[in-house]
Amino acid sequence: MAKSKKSTPQHSASASCPRPKGTLIIIGGHEQKDPQTVGDEVGSSADELAPESILKRFVAELHGDGPVLIVPTASAEPEDTARDYVRLFHDLGVKRVEVLNIRTRDEANDADRLRQLDDAAGLMFTGGDQLRLTATLGGTEMIRRLKERYAHSRIVIAGTSAGATAMSTPMIYQGRNDAGFLKDEIHITTGLQLMHDVAIDTHFVARGRIVRVAQIIATNPGCIGLGLEEDTAVVVTDGQEMEVIGNGMVVVVDGRQCQGNTIHEIQPGEVFSIRELRVHLLARGQRYTLPVQDQLHV
């Protein structure tokens, strides 16, 4: 199949800021249960399972014979969620699947759990509540070690729904699906920082979330908005080379050349304006180079 031309020019990496050797697979979630959900926590543990076709690509990207780690920290039902993923990966032929169920910050600094990560070929962040994930893992030795592995090894790191949203900086953690056009309706914080200057949102088309991403871009036009529909994912290599997989659409919102941005002029509760956003709609097989600047990923 012929590859489409990239939408942005490729940037060369400097010797002091090498591109990460790991691969990210960022998944837009599976199915919608409650369109009024504030965060991404929905329904039962099976509601947010990544589609099997996308998990097959995850398996195909693995290198070495290390285990796949399931990290259900974001989930309110971690045991059920982890059990479902263990079954799915076993069905896909993965021989070693382990659960890394971290519920406290002390556990995220535990030596035995860190050894699990050091041995892993891949890691899967499940869906749930992204704020639970970042509040538990942010600033811990687990995340420092994960970033180190992402930068220097061929580990594959995947996340679905909340697990995908948490990979970026900035990270959306609250905001109704029908909200976003009033200043301060959207709440953002620092994610796990595996991707810099990229704001990831999931269930993007099904839940009508483009306006809330536009507000994030308005607050920082140097950030790229990345909206993933359900049953859709992007595979990111070299820290910025993105390929769309799955059956839905990926929406890229680029505000670097925006004009008429009023977010800094209006009061909280007022409607903001922004003009000349560039929007790309990408389907399976499309490639896009994220215009991120060279920087250390550790």
CATH of the domain at 136: 3.40.50.880
Angle between helices 141-152 and 111-119 (to 10 degrees): 20
Residue 296 lies in a domain: no
Res 173: pLDDT: 86
Q: Is residue 187 part of a domain?
A: yes
Structural domain total, the chain: 1
- Return d(Cα 75, Cα 279) in angstroms, integer: 32
How far apart are the C-alpha atoms of 155 and 158, rounded to whole Å? Answer: 10
Which amino acid is located at 97 in the chain? V
Quick check: is 143 in a domain?
yes
Q: Tell me the pTM.
A: 0.87
Active-site entry in 41, 45, 48, 203: 203
203 is catalytic: yes
Q: Which residue range forms the structural domain that includes residue 79?
A: 23-32+45-288
Which regions of the chain are under pLDDT 50? Answer: 1-3, 5, 7-15, 31-46, 296-297
Q: 25 — phi, psi (to 5°)?
A: -125, 110
Q: Is residue 18 a part of any domain in this protein?
A: no
By the 8 A CB rule, do 134 and 108 touch?
Answer: no
> Residue 37: which residues within 8 A CB-CB, separation 6 or more?
177
End-to-end CA distance of the chain: 35
pLDDT, one tens digit per residue, over 66-121 is 999 999 999 999 999 999 999 999 999 999 999 999 999 999 999 999 999 999 99
The whole-angstrom separation of Cα 41 and Cα 39 is 6
Is-catalytic flag, 161? yes
**Residue 74 maps to a domain:** yes
Q: Catalytic residue, from 41, 61, 230, 243: name it.
A: 230
Catalytic residue among 45, 75, 161, 168, which? Answer: 161
Whether 55 is covered by a domain: the verdict is yes
What pLDDT was estimated at residue 186?
Answer: 87
Q: Give CA torsion, residues 213, 215, 221, 222, to 10 deg.
A: -40
Instruction: Examine residue 3 and state whether it is found in any structural domain, yes or no.
Output: no
Cβ contact 113:142 at 8 Å: yes
What pLDDT is stored for residue 12 in this prediction?
A: 42
Q: What is the pLDDT of residue 34?
A: 38
Which residue bears the tokens 């029908």?
178
Q: What is the maximal distance between C-alpha atoms in the chain?
A: 56
- Catalytic, 230? Answer yes
Note the pLDDT of residue 178.
63
Does 284 fall in a domain? yes
Q: Burial letters for 17-41: b for 16+ Cβ neighbours within 10 Å, e otherwise?
A: eebbbbbbbbbbbbeeeeeeeebbb
